[in-house]
């Protein structure tokens, strides 16, 4: 996780799929991506779907929320950046170069379980078609990145912007009634 926590036990199906995918790759890789919950049509869904998977195999976890196994609440790893390829540290390269190498990795080594390991869609230049797809499929949002941007480890940068698409807000509702005795 971004906090350095091992998520293998919580997403064993994804760990197995990534292991099977990269079994033939002998050089070290660092891939940046995200685990997302999927809807009934195996499309990325909101974080709420992922919450039902977070503590699937954590011993002693006690929750009032129903914890769903992988076959009842599917999830996938979606790759969006390649930070190391063998001995090459790619973080200072522009996003366009890192993306080419990530796409080449996916082309050379196709994931055997494509529902569980995926390459994120990308739109270079005009992003209207991708934005339309994101809205039609109710994605939470999009990451908009400058094509020339390097990867800034553990830092937020104006070169990357998160565009949220969810139409919701949070409210606190407070009420009072006269005690009825």
Alpha carbon distance 80, 74 (integer Å): 19
pLDDT score recorded for residue 90: 97
Q: Report the pLDDT value the prediction gives residue 85, as an integer from 0 to 100.
A: 95
Question: What is the predicted pLDDT for the residue at 69?
Answer: 65
Position 118 pLDDT exceeds 60: yes
* Position 32 pLDDT exceeds 60: yes
Residue of 77, 75, 87 whose CA lies nearest to 32: 77
Which of the pair, 114 or 100, is modelled with greater confidence? Answer: 100
Question: Are 106 and 114 within 8 A, CB to CB?
Answer: no
pLDDT in the model for residue 18:
92
Q: Is the pLDDT of residue 181 over 70?
A: no
- How far apart, in whole angstroms, are the C-alpha atoms of residue 176 and residue 149? 53
CA nearest neighbour of 115 among 79, 74, 146, 162: 74
Nearest alpha-carbon partner for 44 in 112, 116, 97: 116
At residue 1, does pLDDT exceed 90?
Answer: no
The residue that leads in pLDDT, 117 or 162, is: 117
Please tell me the predicted confidence (pLDDT) of residue 132: 92
Rounded mean pLDDT of the chain? 84
Full 3-state SS string of the chain: CCCCCCCCCCCHHHHHHHHHHCCCCCCCEEEEEEEEEECCCCCECCHHHHHCCCCCCCCCCCCCCCCCCCCCCCEEEEEEEEEEECCEECCCCCHHHHHHHHHHHHHHCCCCCCCCEEECCCCCCCCHHHHHHHHHCCCCEEEEECCCCCCCCCCCCCCEEEEECCCCCCCCCCCCCCCCC
Q: pLDDT digit string (tens) for 18-29? A: 999 988 888 899
Q: Which residue has the tokens 């869904």?
A: 45
What's the pLDDT tens digit per position in 33-61? 989 888 888 888 777 777 767 755 555 55
Predicted local confidence at residue 66, as pLDDT = 61
Q: pLDDT tens across 60-80, in order?
A: 555 555 656 677 778 899 999
**How confident is the model at residue 92, as a pLDDT?**
96
């Amino acid at each position: 996780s971004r906090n350095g926590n091992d998520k293998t036990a919580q997403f064993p199906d994804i760990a197995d799929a990534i292991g099977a995918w990269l079994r033939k790759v002998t050089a070290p890789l660092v891939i940046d991506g995200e685990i997302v919950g999927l809807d009934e049509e195996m499309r990325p869904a909101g974080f709420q779907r992922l919450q039902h998977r977070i503590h699937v195999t954590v011993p002693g976890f006690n929750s009032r929320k129903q914890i769903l196994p992988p076959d009842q609440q599917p999830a996938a790893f979606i790759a969006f950046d390649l930070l190391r390829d063998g001995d090459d540290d790619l973080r200072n390269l522009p996003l366009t170069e890192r993306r080419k190498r990530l796409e080449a990795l996916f082309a050379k080594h196709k994931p055997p379980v494509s529902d569980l390991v995926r390459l994120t869609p990308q739109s270079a230049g005009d992003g209207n078609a991708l934005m339309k797809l994101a809205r039609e499929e109710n994605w939470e949002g999009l990451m908009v990145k400058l094509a020339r941007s390097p990867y800034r480890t553990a830092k937020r940068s104006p070169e990357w912007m998160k565009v949220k698409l969810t139409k919701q807000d949070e409210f606190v509702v407070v009420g009072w009634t006269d005690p009825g005795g």
